[in-house]
């Protein structure tokens, strides 16, 4: 969701892909060329007043350009949602990101976000507005805001949803590009009101650039409260 610094140009991205496995420059690459967090792992449904929802997840990110694709980073994530009312949730998100090929899991960095989610059409259309930043030392001005539209199609009542999302990744730093993300996911359960498994695939693009990021994520959502 939030970047250490957006990809400044194709040359630096190619350098990252070619050299990502060299442990001594892992942190430098994470600060300068790492992909932002753009997975969604939620639906247009609201949590419900005074209820809590938790979603741990894991993600794998790759970068593709001119027919070539390379895995670049992994994420561990945790989201919490609290129902302020039947139409408004407050959502928190934490992600830990580390580069593929890193010699040490501890070489990663953290990302934190918070924001409201509003129901537009009950259980079908919602708007999310998270604000957050990277917490890595030396990451500079990495604040981003991600206006996000969520669309849910109930495929099987209480058992499966199909979820679409589109978001605009707005940055607050010099020489950083705004990006666009699209995600397609599913919520699968025996009772969606209580829990769900969430597989998801998404794309992140910089309009006008040929390369793109792809993500595959898997989350598990559990609801608490009555």
Domain annotation covers residue 3: no
pLDDT for the residue numbered 43: 97
- The answer as to whether 96 is a domain residue is yes
Instruction: Kindly report the CATH number assigned to the domain that includes residue 81.
Output: 2.40.160
Q: Identify the segments of the chain with pLDDT beneath 50.
A: 4-8, 11, 14-33
Angle between helices 10-19 and 26-33 (to 10 degrees): 150
pLDDT of residue 181: 97
Range of the domain at 195: 10-224
What pLDDT does residue 61 have? 96
pLDDT at residue 17 in the model = 41
Residue 100 located in a structural domain: yes
Q: Is 127 a member of any domain?
A: yes
Measure the CA–CA gap between 27 and 14, rounded to whole angstroms. 16
Query: What φ, ψ does residue 129 adopt, rounded to 5°?
Result: -135, 75
Q: What's the length of the chain?
A: 226
pLDDT tens digits, residue range 82-96?
999 999 999 999 999
Domain contains 77? yes
Tokens for 202, please give them.
């998404």
With 0-12 / 13-18 / 19 or more C-beta atoms within 10 angstroms meaning exposed / middle / buried, residue 67 is exposed
162 close to 155: Cβ distance less than 8 angstroms: yes
How many domains does the chain fold into? 1
Residue 158, pLDDT score: 92
Contact, 72 vs 62, CB < 8 A? yes
Residue 143's pLDDT is 87
Q: Is residue 2 part of a domain?
A: no
3-class secondary structure per residue, the chain: CCCCCCCCCHHHHHHHHHHCCCHHHHHHHHHHHCCCCCCCCCCCCCCCCCCEEEEEEEEEEEEEECCEEEEEEEEEEEEEEEECCCCEEEEEEEEEEEECCCCCHHHCEEEEEEEEEEEEECCCEEEECCEEEECCCCCCCCCEECCEEEEEEEEECCCEEEEEEEEEEEECCCCCCCEEEEEEEEEECCCCCCEEEEEEEEEEECCCCCCEEEEEEEEEEEEECC
- Model-level pTM? 0.82
């Amino acid at each position: 969701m939030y970047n250490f610094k957006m990809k400044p140009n194709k040359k630096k991205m190619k350098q990252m892909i070619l050299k990502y496995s060299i442990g001594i420059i892992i942190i430098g690459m994470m600060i300068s060329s790492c992909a932002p967090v753009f997975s969604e792992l939620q639906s247009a449904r609201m949590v419900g007043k005074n209820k809590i929802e938790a979603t741990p997840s894991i993600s794998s990110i790759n970068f593709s350009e001119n027919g070539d694709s390379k895995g670049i980073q992994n994420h561990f994530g945790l989201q919490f949602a609290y129902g302020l009312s039947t139409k408004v949730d407050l959502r928190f998100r934490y992600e830990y990101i580390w580069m593929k090929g890193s010699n040490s899991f501890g070489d990663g960095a953290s990302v934190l976000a918070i924001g409201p989610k509003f129901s537009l059409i009950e259980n079908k259309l919602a708007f999310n507005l998270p604000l957050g930043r990277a917490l890595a030392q030396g990451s500079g001005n990495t604040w981003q805001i991600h206006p996000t539209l969520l669309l849910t199609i109930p495929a099987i009542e209480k058992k499966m949803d199909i979820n679409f999302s589109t978001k605009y990744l707005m940055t607050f730093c010099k020489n950083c590009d705004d990006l666009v993300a699209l995600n397609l996911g599913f919520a699968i359960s025996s009772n969606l009101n209580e829990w769900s498994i969430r597989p998801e695939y998404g794309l992140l693009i910089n309009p006008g650039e040929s390369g793109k990021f792809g993500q595959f994520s898997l989350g598990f959502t559990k609801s608490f409260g009555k």
